[in-house]
Amino acid sequence: MSRLLFVHAHPDDETLTCGVALAHHVARGDDVHVLTCTLGEEGEVIPPDLAHLEGHPDDLLGPYRRDELAEALRRLGVTGHLLGDGDRGRAPRYRDSGMVGSAAAARPEAFAAADPAAPDGPGALVADVVRRLRPDVVVTYDRFGGYEHPDHVQAHRATRAAMQRLDDAELPARVLEIVTPRSWARDDRDAVRATAPDRLVVRGHRLVPPEADAPFTPSVVPDADVSHAVVDLAARAVKNHALRAHATQVVVADEELYALSNLVAVRSSEREGFRLVDPRTWEPAPGGAPVSPAAAAGTARPGLLD
């Protein structure tokens, strides 16, 4: 049995970006952990009956999303941790930073405002978790944080700072960052745009197809830059079950479609890509095999340990 640790910024990020990998490795019998850095207090709430949670002065959304996270992780079969909270599972040290220029970003407890390399900062806290769990594999975002959210970028920086604090004997055998092969991103967008209009109406919400020429996020990379992938149709069903636990943030239309608060339809993919990096330099490292555009959907690939 191997142990994997995934470092994420907010509740729901773990399932949205790595749900297939999480479920896949749990099914293989691996010991899978998720470290969440904030409670996502600045999230936009979708269900009208929960709208009172958004922006509440007592931060009611954070504890609610903590409970959503706990349920999602239970459905995935994963052990959860909150950054700086030990094993209590109540509250991380830092708060959701919101977007650049927001009032949340100026708060002293904002995650993105902390110095990752400070002696008691985010990097030290991530390093503490790595020392305690001794994972074989650590996974987090690339330097763009997926889509440049400040907390995602900070999770990347904190994980990099953690690697610098570890002795050679404490380093995981493998560190990977989350990326998406460009061919997959194009295929998924085309599939959503071809969706019948009646499938885009979900519980009173009308989902919007993505624009044909909208730019991809910076973490969509050339296929040859992706060293590892998990492709597992059975794991997608588990991922979707976990996504439904994040009801404040995600609308799950069916097994192939979901949307966030902007209601832009996204394909719920059965495949996720990763890039192996050197834990000291964070440069791409040799290993794995480039992802071919012909990688068959629904065919289980070896995962992140092979």
Residue ranges and CATH numbers for the domains of the chain are 3-276 (3.40.50.10320)
| pLDDT at 299 > cutoff 80 | no
| pLDDT at 296 > cutoff 50 | no
State the Cα–Cα distance between residues 138 and 6, nearest whole angstrom. 6
Residue 49: CB partners within 8 Å, gap ≥ 6? none
Coil, helix or strand at residue 111: helix
* Residue 301 pLDDT: 53
Q: Is 21:272 a contact under the CB 8 Å cutoff? A: yes
Give residue 1's pLDDT band: very low, low, confident or very high (50, 70, 90).
confident
Phi, psi of 259 (to 5 degrees): -150, 155
Give residue 10's pLDDT band: very low, low, confident or very high (50, 70, 90).
very high
* Residue 298 pLDDT: 43
Coil, helix or strand at residue 136: coil
State the Cα–Cα distance between residues 93 and 39, nearest whole angstrom. 10
Each residue of 128-171: pLDDT tens digit?
999 999 999 999 999 999 999 999 999 999 999 999 999 999 99
State the Cα–Cα distance between residues 259 and 207, nearest whole angstrom. 7
Coil, helix or strand at residue 251: strand
* Residue 104 pLDDT: 87
List the structure tokens of 62.
Answer: 């954070």
| pLDDT at 294 > cutoff 70 | no
Q: What pTM, to 2 d.p., does this model score?
A: 0.95
Q: Is 35:6 a contact under the CB 8 Å cutoff? A: yes
Q: How far is CA 251 from CA 19, 188, 206, 266, in A?
A: 16, 18, 10, 10
Average pLDDT, the chain: 94
The stretch 30-41 carries a mean pLDDT of: 98
Each residue of 60-108: pLDDT tens digit?
999 999 999 999 999 999 999 999 987 677 889 999 999 988 998 999 9
Residues 146-184: b if buried by 16+ CB within 10 A, e if exposed: beebbbbbbbbbbbbbbbebbeeeeebebbbbbbbbbbb
